[in-house]
Amino acid sequence: MKTADFNFSLPPELIASRPAPRRDSCRLLILWRDGRTEHRTFTDIGDYLKYGDLLIVNNTKVMPVRLIGSKPSGGRVDMILVNEHKEAVWEVLCAGHYAGPVFLRDGIEAELLFEDSGAAGGEKKKFLRFLTPRAKHVDELLERCGSMPLPPYIKRLPDDEDRERYQTVYAEMTGSIAAPTAGLHFTDDLLEGLSEKGVRIRKLTLHVGPGTFRPVKAEHLKHHAMQSEYFEIPAELLSEIEHTKQSAKRVITVGTTATRALEGFLSGNSQATDNGEGTISGFTDIFIHPGYQFMVTDALLTNFHLPRSTPLMLASAFSGFEKLMQAYSEAISMGYRFFSYGDAMLIL
């Protein structure tokens, strides 16, 4: 398929810039494999989950990696830390071509610089070198100076509400630069109610990097390469998945990231090792798009995704391309809210 097949027009007013008043008060579109749709609220999700179902969530925790500094001229520099390149030097996402001194809060001084990536076409990466010695303790720096890395289509600065709401209630493993957004709708009470119903809720970890949300630029999907992302899967979860399948119950993955962790490992599209203490960890660069045969997922909870994005392609691989695009068209006509802080879809 071509990347252009995954374009669609979205009225700007349907891009959610704020979360719903309550996590579980968003709308929920039910998409059945035969193309039927239902329109509910997220609190109704228990009506579609059954005793013995296995609900798998991604417990990664978003780091407050957005830093806003100033140039010597007084202009603003907006950066997202991606990963540590070496001591006191971090790869960053930053628009524009500025290189030079950057001044952060609390008297922290740094320098923004470019370095050839070695990629074809002369692509350059951007790095932030911290010059103030105490800034080497990046975790402490981010707690003082950082904010949540909201996606660029949210045209406002992050605030205190985002510290809580751009994070799942079960987040515990720090390492992501973006939220696993399908899980943002769950509350502790809702999860407890599902457990009491007999739905088994289990956790794995995939730290979300920039590759998950970057639009695909290649003309054909087969030419796109995903960036690797780190995951951890409890070995006992794999046994539980096998038992669930044998019992004719369903494995329901919450979000494309949890799906990629499991499908990436079980399909062999990963570099993973067993630490001998009950955890399998490694990296996966699996790119799931139409034509992929799912090995684990029987139902998928997901959000409404960006045009040309890899999560949209994964969802279409699961539901069927035409059915998903028709559901998106229906959601747009009914005023659903889209993207990270938007409404949810359950594909059954």
- At which of 105, 122, 146 does a domain end? 146
Q: What is the pLDDT of residues 216-231, one digit of tens each?
A: 889 999 999 999 999 9
Predicted confidence (pLDDT) per residue in 48-60, tens digit: 999 999 999 999 9
In contact, 26 and 344? CB cutoff 8 Å: yes
In a domain? residue 234: yes
Q: pLDDT per residue over 298-330, tens digit each?
A: 999 999 999 999 999 999 999 999 999 999 999
The structure's pTM equals 0.94
CA atoms of 143 and 146, how far apart (whole Å): 6
Please state, in angstroms and rounded to a whole number, the distance separating the CA atoms of residues 79 and 69.
8
14 and 110 in a common domain: no
The answer as to whether 254 is a domain residue is: yes
CATH number at residue 71: 2.40.10.240
- Does some domain include residue 152? no
Does residue 45 sit in the same domain as residue 78?
no
CATH of residue 317's domain is: 3.40.1780.10
Give me the number of domains the chain comprises.
Answer: 2
What values do phi and psi take at 254, rounded to 5? -95, 100
Final residue belonging to a domain, choices 87, 111, 146 = 146
Structural domain for 7, as ranges: 3-62+161-347
Report whether 118 contacts 124 (CB < 8 A): no
Residue 155 lies in a domain: no
Q: Once rounded to an integer, what is the mean pLDDT over residues 211-217?
A: 77
Q: Are residues 112 and 248 in the same domain?
A: no
Q: Which amino acid is at 265?
A: F
Are residues 82 and 45 part of one domain? no
Question: Domain check: are 141 and 176 in the same one?
Answer: no
Whether residue 182 is found in the same domain as residue 303: yes
**Residue that is last in its domain, among 146, 175, 198:** 146
Residue 168 sits in the same domain as residue 92 = no
Structural domain contains residue 32: yes
301, 201: one domain: yes
